[in-house]
Amino acid sequence: MQLMFTRPVIKTPSGLSAASVTTTIYNDNGFRTILPKLYTNHIETIFCPEPEQSLYCQLLFGLIQRDEVVMLGSLFASTVLRGLKYLESHWQEMCSDIKTGQISHRITDSGCRNAATSIMKPNPQLANLIESLCNCKSWEGIVRKLWPKARYVGCICTGVMRQYTAELEFYCGGLPLVSTAYACSEAACGINLEPLCKPSDVTYTLLPNLAYFEFLPMKNGHAEPIEMRSNIEDIEPVDLVHVKPGHRYELLVTTCAGLYRYKVGDVLMVTGFHNNAPQFQFVERQNVAISVDQEKTSEADLFKAVTEAKALLDPLGFVLTDYTSYADTSSTPGHYVLFWELKEKEGNHCKEVDPKVMVECCSRMEESLQYTYKVYRKNNIIAALEIRVVEQGSFEALMDYYVSKGASLSQYKRPSCITSKEALKIIDSRVIGKFFSPKSPV
């Protein structure tokens, strides 16, 4: 049961077809032939132009065929989570569909309706069973209960996706989370040779037959703060065979499709070798995530600071389900704004977190940011960091916005920092609490 989504193929001004990489794969005749044999989905649901209708049908079909599901997943962890949350709020409707053998009126797409007719028949027994499994106080381990033959959940849990692993683990009840591959629109790059290892330990072995890989060394090899990085234009790339363990590199690809030394924008670190093939851990996207002055905070810096701060919520029974940032320069000095979506560990609702703890979270974040940030903050070049707690569902609304603007639901990655005014409006309109760091970090 693999959640798959597509975007319409468009024509470039010169008449070439352009599509997202997943759309191209799902359009392929070979894929269309194996689809009914290997997956619970129907081609019509994958190509449905309405993402929500597509998701509804894919989940419904997965429930109907629950006894055949041996693996559950999507390309990225965020999509699996989105699917499970959607199920959490729509299972009653789906159970009623299964009972009657008729798909809900919310599905208006003719392709989806046709697909449903071909696989649905009234099954009150199955509906009652699913109802009894879903109708419980906590959804901890629900994946195991709903799909008892599933052996693993397959989705990328590394890079920006690692923030979703804790919540996914909650739903999966001990099923392994498997990040099988590292790939991008520009080229397929590597595979994970130890699929059952912990998400935090995943490394990818780059396969030299997929593209010609070269690497721009990051200055000093490793663990260098983004703000210290030199101009990488001056550095010579090294080949796959010449990379060194412990060092960080930016990936360049040269492909049959015509890309030449193309900067993918990812930073990778060499962790070891499989035979002679180097293995890499995904570190971060190369670009600066957030900056209000001369300081630069990378995605990894931000992740580290958030991880340290959110630890304060654990003893209170709260989890951080998603976050993003925004550089607020509307007044001087500018400051970092973090949007946090919180959830109680037990149940879905969120009582208020003690404001004192939230203020402490702001401080803790500032403490763990880079040296330049702290110096600027002390000298009042940057104002106090702010955390804005948003209501539940805010990040889903954000995802819906980006999908409506053309992002593919299959390939969606929520931005580490919001730059679009419209996206900012969406998330800012859902703020339920604002907290500021009370003092400069030491």
Is 412 a binder of ligand AMP (CB under 6 A)?
Answer: no
* Span interacting with ligand AMP, options 92-100, 117-125, 151-159, 425-433, rule CB under 6 A: 151-159
Name which of residues 354 to 373 contact ligand AMP (CB under 6 A): none
Q: Which stretch binds ligand AMP (CB under 6 A): 3-11, 41-49, 155-163, 310-318?
A: 155-163
Q: Cα 21 from chain centroid? A: 17
Q: What's the rounded Cα separation, in Å, for the pair 393 and 89?
A: 11
Q: Is the peptide bond before 333 cis (omega within 30 degrees of 0)?
A: yes
Among 6, 54, 158, 372, which residue interacts with ligand AMP (rule: CB under 6 A)? 158
DSSP state of 416: S
From residue 141, give the alpha-carbon distance in Å to each of 144, 179, 354: 6, 19, 28
Q: Which stretch binds ligand AMP (CB under 6 A): 131-139, 156-164, 290-298, 359-367?
A: 156-164
Q: For the window 245-264, what string marks contact with ligand AMP as x by the rule CB under 6 A?
A: -------------------x
Rg of the chain in Å (alpha carbons): 23
Q: Find the shortest distance in angstroms from Cβ 26 to ligand AMP.
A: 14
CA 157 to chain centre: 7
Q: Are 278 and 206 in contact (CB under 8 A)?
A: yes
On whether the CB atoms of residues 199 and 182 are closer than 8 A, the answer is no
Q: Is 295 a residue that touches ligand AMP (CB under 6 A)?
A: no
**CB under 6 A: which stretch of 45-53, 125-133, 152-160, 165-173 binds ligand AMP?**
152-160
The answer to whether residue 179 forms part of the interface with ligand AMP (CB under 6 A) is yes
Q: Are strands 10-11 and 17-18 parallel, antiparallel or unpaired?
A: antiparallel
Choice from 61, 182, 249, 323 touching ligand AMP (CB under 6 A): 182
For ligand AMP, the closer of residues 49 and 406 by Cβ is 406
The encoded tokens of residue 58 equal 């894919």
- Residue closer to ligand AMP (CB basis): 73 or 159: 159
Number of residues that bind ligand AMP (CB under 6 A): 14
| Closest-CA residue to 383 (of 317, 324, 327, 305) | 327
Using CA atoms, how far apart are residues 238 and 242, in angstroms rounded to an integer? 6
Decide whether 143 or 161 has the Cβ nearer to ligand AMP. 161
Catalog residues that contact ligand AMP under the rule CB under 6 A.
156, 158-159, 179, 182-185, 264-266, 282, 285, 411
